[in-house]
A = this chain, B = another copy of it.
């Protein structure tokens, strides 16, 4: 594990690290802090057939499914919120082109915690009584076990260890020491649970800019494999403290995706931005 090796690379180099057959996870939720620059690069690269795991994905997932990059999904919810069901996901699942394992928030968190903590599994509260239990027992992702201390039945969630995490952060030094501000969602767990971590950041800063931060780093160089400078790299989703979601662009996406034209939207709006991110 090289320490002080600089990991600053271009967008193209970064997404070339994503190997065939990988399962990926992304930062943020629905329309907030999606790693859109990295996602766009993955689409542009022509990646296919990846797995995807997340709690409450939105735009990034729908795009990845529309582009055929992702062919199996595990998530607690996939939604475009007020713009309705995630249209590309819905269509692909209904047509049987994409597998979907529905999860539930607490269990996704438990699985990511187990992955991040280097444990084979974690118990999770709640859940019992939901038919999701049957699905996951069949997939061998959950098991109903007895509390070894006599407290009754509890669901054990197998560790979730994504092959790749695509994370958009506020700032990062060239070694992978990064800081996310505002809402974290489970991104700090995703960074720790994943085998390969690619961080894109609004700003690349000197390590000195991180000194005497009052709060723990979101990632260290030990966690991160590649760093990309991508200002605006969450567009059109929101970036806490920097920019809001671009609702016009998102509404247009929802409309076009419903019409099966998600890739047209990509060509019109996201592809042109790739060069600005050094593609």
Contact = CB atoms under 8 A, between A and B. Distances in A.
Nearest to A114: B123
Interface string A138-171: 0010010101110100101010000000000000
A248 interface: no
Nearest to A145: B148
Interface centre among A147, A151, A154, A179 (most CB of B within 10 A): A147
Interface in A151-209: 151, 154, 156, 158, 179, 181-182, 184
A241 B215 CA distance: 12
Interface string A115-151: 0011111111100000000000000100101011101
A46 interface: no
Q: How many copies does the complex hold?
A: 2
A96 interface: no
A168 B274 CA distance: 48
A148 B145 CA distance: 8
Contacts of A182: 214
B149 A140 contact: yes
Contacts of A154: 119-120
Nearest to A151: B120
Interface residues of A, number: 30
A216 interface: yes
B149 A121 contact: yes
A181 B214 contact: yes
Interface centre among A123, A145, A147, A179 (most CB of B within 10 A): A123
Contacts of A124: 119
A3 to B, nearest CB: 22
A80 B147 CA distance: 37
Nearest to A152: B120
A108 to B, nearest CB: 14
Closest 4 A-B residue pairs measured CB to CB?
Answer: A215-B215, A181-B214, A143-B148, A120-B151
24 contacts: A113-B117, A119-B123, A119-B124, A119-B125, A120-B123, A120-B149, A120-B151, A120-B154, A121-B123, A121-B147, A121-B148, A121-B149, A122-B122, A140-B149, A145-B148, A148-B156, A149-B156, A149-B158, A181-B214, A181-B215, A182-B214, A212-B241, A214-B215, A214-B241
Given A140-B149, A214-B215, 15 more contacts: A114-B123, A119-B123, A119-B125, A119-B154, A120-B147, A120-B151, A121-B123, A121-B147, A121-B148, A148-B156, A149-B158, A181-B214, A182-B214, A184-B216, A215-B216
Interface of A: 113-114, 117-125, 140, 143, 145, 147-149, 151, 154, 156, 158, 179, 181-182, 184, 212, 214-216, 241
